[in-house]
Structure 1
Amino acid sequence: MPTSLQHHIRDVPTDAQRRVLWVRDKYRKIIQDTMRDETRLVMRTPVDVERGQAGVQVPIM
């Protein structure tokens, strides 16, 4: 028996968005830094490396 999206949305707790945003804000930098370190998805010019700058970062989606 098919169910509607509206039915599922009603089942989501009212504070779900607040909790999701809190987790995102708390762990985002840690997760992004770890993924960059493990996958090396950072492109740097020799000048960036010499200056210790991050360079251009490839977004991970």
Structure 2
Amino acid sequence: MSYEFMEQISDHVESRLRLEREQMEFEAQKKEKKIQKMIATAAAVFLLLLTFALETPH
């Protein structure tokens, strides 16, 4: 095999690995945002329930 062909293969492999790593990072960020939204929603529900409980006469 020629050196140029080997270099093309190497570049292609590096490009694929970079794209795969970027995709994994994107998925991790997406998952983290989803978890943050779930926590924020749970906190909002808790605060609403707490407010309702405190305003309700006993």
* TM-score of the pair, normalised by structure 1: 0.27
Name whichever structure is richer in strand by fraction. Answer: 1
Q: TM-score, normalised by structure 2?
A: 0.28
Q: Larger helix proportion, structure 1 or 2?
A: 2
Rg larger in 1 or in 2? 2
Compare relative contact order (CA 8 Å, sep 6+) and give the higher one, 1 or 2.
1
